[in-house]
Amino acid sequence: MPRLNRVNPFGEIITAPERGTFMGNRGVLHDEEGSIRRAWQGKRWIVCVLEFRGRKRKVMTPDRYTELFFLDEATAFAAGHRPCAECRRERFIAFRNAWRLEENLQPPTAAEIDDQLRNERLDPDKKKKVFLANLAELPNGVFIKIAGCGENAYLVWNDRLLLWTAGGYSGRRKRPQDAKVAVLTPKSTVEAIRAGYVPEIHPSAVGAR
């Protein structure tokens, strides 16, 4: 039976048979029987590689962090995660260096990034926080929600919008240039992508129909 440990672009933990291409965590979310009891614990939400230095883990070991899985890095970013500073050190440094590039400030620490993302990913009522933006101005790798299209998430990718599913990108629609949309990816992460950080995208984006 598939576990409740996949994450969608809204940050929700869902059940799906596909593992995805990245792992991550946001604390200890499960009980001793392996059942999810909370959506997060703490402010450090990270995205990791599936394999690192030959380490082996039993999924949902009691009192250890809960392994979560993402379709790709762009999905993890939309959910409010950032690159792990250990298993993805080079990617974390690139992400950190792009974080405040336009303000010409010193690169932030991991804790500073976590603080900012905590403020940007959830409303006071603990619901997903979004912001409005002009679709034409958004960079590749950002997730949006379109009014009138239900609870679907779309990846901004060149001149197209790709429909997210747990198994990959399946729908491709033309990207309008004059639309206001709700952006799922936290604003600071959007700016880091705009400044040059390129999130890793699932291979299905190439052949989405």
pLDDT at site 149: 75
Taking CA atoms, 2 is separated from 6, 15, 67, 176, in Å, by 9, 6, 13, 37
The residue type of 183 is V
* Digit-coded pLDDT (tens) for 148-180: 777 899 999 999 999 999 999 988 888 888 889
pLDDT at site 102: 59
How many Å apart are CA 171 and CA 84, to the nearest integer?
Answer: 30
| pTM of the predicted structure, to 2 decimals | 0.94
pLDDT at site 24: 96
Residue 197 has pLDDT above 90, yes or no: yes
pLDDT at site 45: 98
Across-strand partners of 206?
none
Average pLDDT for 41-54:
92
* Digit-coded pLDDT (tens) for 110-119: 999 999 999 9
pLDDT at site 73: 98
Exposure string (b/e) for 127-143, b if CB count within 10 Å is 16 or more? ebbbeebebeebbebbb
pLDDT at site 54: 75
Across-strand partners of 48?
23
pLDDT at site 103: 63
pLDDT at site 204: 94
Instruction: Quote the mean pLDDT of the chain.
Output: 92
pLDDT at site 106: 81
pLDDT at site 32: 92
The fraction of the chain above a pLDDT of 70, given in percent, is 97
Mean pLDDT lowest for which of 94-98, 107-111, 135-139, 172-176?
Answer: 172-176
Average pLDDT for 187-195:
95
